[in-house]
Amino acid sequence: MPFATRLLAVVDKGHRRDVPVRLFQPQQEDRGWICRYEIDWPERPRAGAGFGIDAVQALTIALQNIGVELYASAYHKAGTLVFDRPGNGYGFPIAKDARHLLVGDDAKFDGN
């Protein structure tokens, strides 16, 4: 069961399709921690994870992985992926080497 969900949308030609992003609680595994997430893209759901030496690192990496997936998506590139308003970003952190992709409020609060 997810412990956090953010609802994004793909808005194209007046049609809206919800894109829920779900984050699951980090879990300890044999060699560290894993934090799973899901993005329900319109064409098919995508599952991923962040791995770390502890729960905090796994969660942080999962959030950054989500950010990269959103910014690398065809929907972002087409300008159809929306959180609160078009072109304003998605509210997920992103790894430092990908911060050039940030737009809107995300670019204002990129951790620099």
Domain borders along the chain are: 2-102
Answer whether 0.75 is exceeded by the pTM: yes
Average pLDDT over residues 40-61: 96
pLDDT tier at 112, thresholds 50, 70, 90: very low
Mean pLDDT score, 96-100: 78
Q: What architecture is the 2-102 domain classified under in CATH?
A: 2-Layer Sandwich (3.30)
Better pLDDT: 46 or 99 = 46
What number is the average pLDDT over the span 81-87? 88
Q: For residues 45, 49, 55 and 57, what is the CA-based torsion angle, rounded to 10 degrees?
A: -120
Q: What is the mean pLDDT of residues 77-90?
A: 90
- Of 72 and 14, the structure prediction assigns the larger pLDDT to 72
What is the structure's pLDDT at 103? 83
